[in-house]
Amino acid sequence: MAEADLQKTFNVHDAKTNLSKLMDRAHAGEEIILAKSGIPYAKLVPLAEATKPRRRPGGWPELANIPDSVWFDPLPAEELELWEGKRLEKYGL
């Protein structure tokens, strides 16, 4: 293994103490070497920017075939009273 740059090499204790700073440096493009007992063990490198797919309306076309009554019709009066807690005595609650 090639000799590691001492300015960019951190032992485990130092890395744990300064992890947030080291992550910021790696995010800025720097490669950070993590060492265990002075021996290079791992490398902290920046990730490529993740790209999210753009959302498109109409992504679930099956919903277009559901009638509006499913979404917008009110509940029957008896069921609405149960939801509002007005008929609990009928069930002994």
> Alpha helices, DSSP H only, in 1-93?
12-17, 19-27, 68-72, 77-84
For residue 54, is it within any domain?
A: no
CA 13 to CA 71: how far, in whole Å? 58
pLDDT tens for the 93 residues of the chain, in order: 455 565 789 999 999 999 999 999 999 999 999 999 989 999 999 988 778 888 887 777 777 787 777 777 788 888 888 888 776 666 666
Q: Tell me, what's the pLDDT at 19?
A: 94
Residue ranges making up the domain that contains 71: 66-91
Domain-embedded: residue 29: yes
Number of domains in the chain: 2
The answer to the question of residue 82 being in a domain is yes
Whether residue 61 lies inside any domain: the answer is: no
